[in-house]
Structure 1
Amino acid sequence: MENKKKTSFYGRMKPYIRGLQLPFLLAVIGAIVSATITVIGPDKLKEITNTITKGLTPTATGMIPGIDLDKVGKIALTLAILYVISAVVGYIQSFTVATIVQRFSQRLRKAIQTKINKVPLSYFDSHSQGDTLSRVTNDVDLLGQSLNQSLGTLVTSVVLLIGSIFMMFHSNVSMALTAIGSVFIGFLLVVVIMGSSQPLFKRQQNNLAAVNGYVEEIYSGHNVVTSYNAAGETSEAFKKLNTNLYKSMWQSQFLSGIMMPLMIFVGNFGYVMVCVVGAVKVINGDITMGDVVAFMIYVRIFSQPLSQIAQAFTQMQSATAA
């Protein structure tokens, strides 16, 4: 039992993911391709903005050269093609991850069925039918849904995060530090919240199993309960279990619910900081208007994966609890 407690989440899931590593690797490659194209997009928009700005800026003689529409059109066409490729690759990646998760859930249900047929009768004497049903239905369904919602998002978000950081530092170091610093503080707060919410998710699943087990037991023996006039006692016991489930679910969902609004606020704060610092640098002539436009998009790309990673970790906590 001690070894089982020390086994990691991946270690416990390893027997059920055999043969799925290659499709998952292909999904990761697809996520890398899609994310790479996404982070290239702002750089192309910077070229378009600089071309337009250059065409509207008077020369030394006071003449306005005009916008090079051919150059703008070529860049826009290239950008459109890249985004179409990114969308197609992203769809294939999402489809692959969904297929992997459903196959994993199918194997897990088969393993549970096999295990139930092998356990001694003493197990069923010490565990209610509702608790066993909760493991087969609620826990497996929650595990599958959590992985389906978080696995693909987690891979894509990590690649997007790394790519956006690289492109920001490649464009301008000081602007990159402004964008990353303003967002990273909020992300540290999210990490602290996630660490404190993990026990709540485990308590939620335990209380859910307790409620299902009690309901199954009472409904199965409804005639016995009625015959012994125990409706009042069973009702009070159910209220207590239901209250415990309500408290644990409220606490876990509250903590997970505040993560996304918190990250949205942090992302907006980083957006404002980039606009302010970028405006000052444009006035001083340190950067171009295209750089500011690119960083306005980069800070969105950078904060969005952080929000998705926070949400994905919340889903993974639910999966781990299940």
Structure 2
Amino acid sequence: MSENRNRVNKRSGGGFGGGPMGSFAGPKVKAKDFKGTLKRLLNYLKPQRMNFILVFIFAIASTIFNIVGPKISGKAITRLVEGLVGKFTVMSQNAALLKAGKPGNIPVPGIDFQYIGDILLLLLGLYVISTLFGFLQQYIMAGVAQKTVYNLRKEVEDKISRLPLKFFDSRTHGEILSRVTNDVDNISTTLQQSLTQLITSIVTIVGVIIMMLTISPMMTLVVILTLPLYIVITTLVAKHSQKFFAAQQKEVGELNGHVEEMYTGHKIVKVFGHEKDSIKEFENINDRLYKAGWKAQFISGIIMPMMRFVSNIGYVIVCVVGGYLATLGKISIGDIQAFIQYSNQFTQPIVQTANIANIIQSTVASAERVFELLDEVEEISDTADAKIIEFPKGEVKFDNVDFSYKPEEPLIENMNLDVKQGHTIAIVGPTGAGKTTLVNLLMRFYEINSGKIMIDGVDIRDIKRGALHNMFGMVLQDTWLFNGTIMDNIAYGREGATEEEVIQAAKAAHAHHFIKTLPDGYNTILNEEASNISQGQKQLLTIARAILANPTIMILDEATSSVDSRTEVYIQKAMTELMKGRTSFVIAHRLSTIRDAELILVMNKGSIIEMGNHNELLAKKGFYADLYNSQFSGANLDSEVI
């Protein structure tokens, strides 16, 4: 469990960090096929293409209305400066005339406040319109992103329900969860935020360059010449900080994994006195995380001061060149002021674009992991003429069945078995003998290599998979109960079950008494791991659920292996009630629990090596007899199990 959680933590631990204002992205996780995956991801936007086009148009409109502001405000400043200069010039002329004894009655011009006021109103209108377009852009993009990710999540969920058991057996839960949650969330965030930022940044860069060119091509050249410096700084910082971000992610995963292990196993840690070792290990991981995190954040954090330094150099050069051009009368004061604003606006979208490029790399890598899941081989679909056995009896037959997880390592070979309706079949044998595999084949969780498995004379491959599963009820060693009331957990066995039916099932499972002793009875809430009731009580609830389901065939896998002897008696009584009139397959290590089985299969290395009832197998004095006697006399069977 800790490994699974650790995998998830490692995926989400580092994220996108960096300098001030989120100026620099963390380590890039590259996709194997960037172009192919990006093209496939963009296909998910096709149903939303009209909305996406609107987003693009609104983003351009919002940016354009925002960009023209400095140019227009420059006109107001120019008119204001001209008015002030004209006023001071005429006043100086009048003063000179008066000093010369002449009448200084040249009319003093005023400042054109009407023109300036009109400009300010125009600017206000432009910025309001820009904000409105920006709002519409975000509103529509939120719908585009959420609808796209909704469809992707739905596709992933549908895919998981169609995947065979071997897919889940070959991967950790943490890896699957990481793809279903973290990777899909990464795609969602990028579609919602980064995509519109990318559009806005590109439009801003292009628009600002155009506006600067309309003012002064020479000063525009000065600003563009600083662009390589931005690229060099970003590249150098990325190169040096990436390894520290990767180390930070790794250590966050290690730290979270350690904390989870110590939390879940804190009783064991205390019992064996390893508190100091646990604290020491935590401190070591925490120290490594501190060092890696400090270096990553410091190196990425210097990007903005360096960007500002380059920007200031450009600012100084622009002021000098602009002042020189103004003295020649080739440019107005207002245009210089507008150009300085544009040069400042030029920096931010460049940094944003570099940052978003990193984010898109990571997003495409996430999409690739999701698509790998979507491309997994599914369960074999039901045939067009698949049957439903309306009233199954529960007769089971294995006919020359061969099966292997790997082609080069056969597990079950030429298995033949004939089980009558209502019989109890016990399956015993050492670990890895193939006991659980036999049950998985029966429920068609795995496909057999050759032969046939039949229920009531019908090949299970000719039965609808859902109908096949509905014939079975399962009580496993590892109980599964969800966070909810006891009533809901038992009722999970059959849709639409009434409260009275749930109580009757609990009574049949000998669970009613302990349930009534709980403070809230059947309304008692089980926590996430159902740790507020005992292991034996959990098992009784799962048996009650199986009784309520009323299956034709029961599978009991080590159902009493982790309870005390007194609880085992209750569970045995409940299982006896559960198996009454049903075909039952019982996997057990405690051989005392299967003495009454009509047939006992003794398995070793995938083959049935002995078959018969309890007395017949004891009389043979073979593997079963040795196994049975070992549980009561302590005999050593190591050589025979191997």
> Shared topology, TM-score over 0.5?
yes
Q: Which residue of 162, 175, 182 corresponds with 2:219?
A: 175
TM-score by length of 1: 0.79
Which of 127, 138, 146 is residue 94 of structure 1 equivalent to? 138
Query: Secondary structure, in 3 states, of the residue corresponding to 2:47?
Result: coil
Residues 2-37 of structure 1, C-alpha deviation per residue, up to 9 Å, x if partnerless? xx9435242231343231222111111011111111
Cα drift, residue 318 of structure 1: 3.4
Can you list the C-alpha shifts for 1:221-272, whole angstroms capped at 9, x where unaligned?
A: 969x88xx8x899999999999998888777766655544543443343333
State how 1:15-34 maps to structure 2 within 5 Å.
Answer: 15-34=43-62
Q: Secondary structure at the match of 2:86?
A: coil
In structure 2, what is the equivalent of residue 6 of structure 1? Answer: 33
Q: Which has the higher contact order (CA 8 A, sep 6+)?
A: 1
Aligned residues of 1:157 and 1:308 also touching (Cα < 8 A): yes
Output the amino acid matched with 2:210. F
Assess if the C-alpha contact under 8 Å between 1:271 and 1:299 holds in 2.
yes
Aligned partners of 2:43 and 2:333: how far apart in 1? 54
Is this contact kept in 1: 2:38–2:364, CA < 8 A? no
1:106-125 matched pairs, under 5 angstroms:
106-125=150-169
**Counterpart in the other structure of 1:57:** 85
CA radius of gyration, larger in: 2
AA partner of residue 14 (structure 1): L
Q: Tell me which residue corresponds to 1:84.
A: 128
Query: Is 2:314 the counterpart of 1:270?
Result: yes
Describe the shift of the 1:125–1:222 C-alpha distance in structure 2 as closer, same or farther (beyond 3 A).
farther
Contact 1:34 1:89 in 2 (8 A): yes
The answer for the alignment partner of 2:110 in structure 1 is: 66
Contact 2:322 2:336 in 1 (8 A): yes
**Structure with the largest fraction of helix:** 1
Letter in 2 for 1:18: K
Q: Who is 1:142 aligned against?
A: 186
Trace 1:1-322 onto structure 2 (pairs within 5 A): 5-6=32-33, 8=35, 9-58=37-86, 62=93, 64-191=108-235, 193-194=237-238, 257-322=301-366
Q: Structure 2: how far apart are the matches of 1:99 and 1:55?
A: 51
Q: Which of the pair is proportionally richer in strand?
A: 2
Unaligned runs of 5+ in 2: 1-30, 94-105, 367-642
Q: Secondary structure at the match of 2:330?
A: coil
Deviation at 1:115, TM superposition (A): 2.5
Report the Cα offset of residue 127 of structure 1.
Answer: 1.7
Q: What TM-score results when the alignment is normalised by the length of structure 2?
A: 0.43
Q: What is the CA deviation profile of residues 29-77 of structure 1, one whole-angstrom value per residue up to 9, with x for unaligned ones?
A: 0111111112211111121111111112238863652211111111221
Q: CA RMSD in A?
A: 3.8
How far apart, in 2, do the equivalents of 1:147 and 1:251 lie?
Answer: 30
Q: Return closer, same or farther for 1:185/1:221 CA change in 2, 3 Å cut-off.
A: closer
CA distance in 1, matches of 2:252, 2:40: 22
Paired residues of 1:131 and 1:212 also in contact (CA < 8 A): no
Q: Is the Cα–Cα contact under 8 Å of residues 34 and 364 in structure 2 kept in the other structure?
A: no
Kept in 2: contact 1:50–1:288 (CA 8 A): yes
Determine the C-alpha separation between the residues in 2 that align with 1:316 and 1:260: 21
Change (3 A) 1:269 1:108: farther
Provide the rounded CA distance (Å) in 1 between the counterparts of 2:157 and 2:34. 22
Counterpart contact for 2:230–2:310, Cα < 8 Å: yes
- Mapped partners of 1:290, 1:273: distance in 2: 17
Q: Distance in 2 between matches of 1:199 and 1:32?
A: 37
CA distance in 1, matches of 2:74, 2:310: 24
Larger mean CA deviation between 19-28 and 285-294 belongs to 285-294
Q: Is the 8 A contact 2:233 2:303 kept in 1?
A: no
- Residue pair 2:255, 2:285 contacting (<8 A) in 1 also: yes
- For the 8 Å contact 1:154–1:309, the answer to whether it is kept is yes
Tell whether the 8 Å contact from 2:318 to 2:340 is kept in structure 1 after alignment: yes
**C-alpha distance in 2 between matches for 1:112 and 1:242:** 36
SS of residue in 1 equivalent to 2:62: helix
1:256 & 1:196 partners in 2: Cα distance?
Answer: 9
Cα distance 1:197–1:119, how it changes in 2: closer, same or farther (>3 A)?
Answer: farther
Unmatched segments (≥5 aa) in structure 1: none
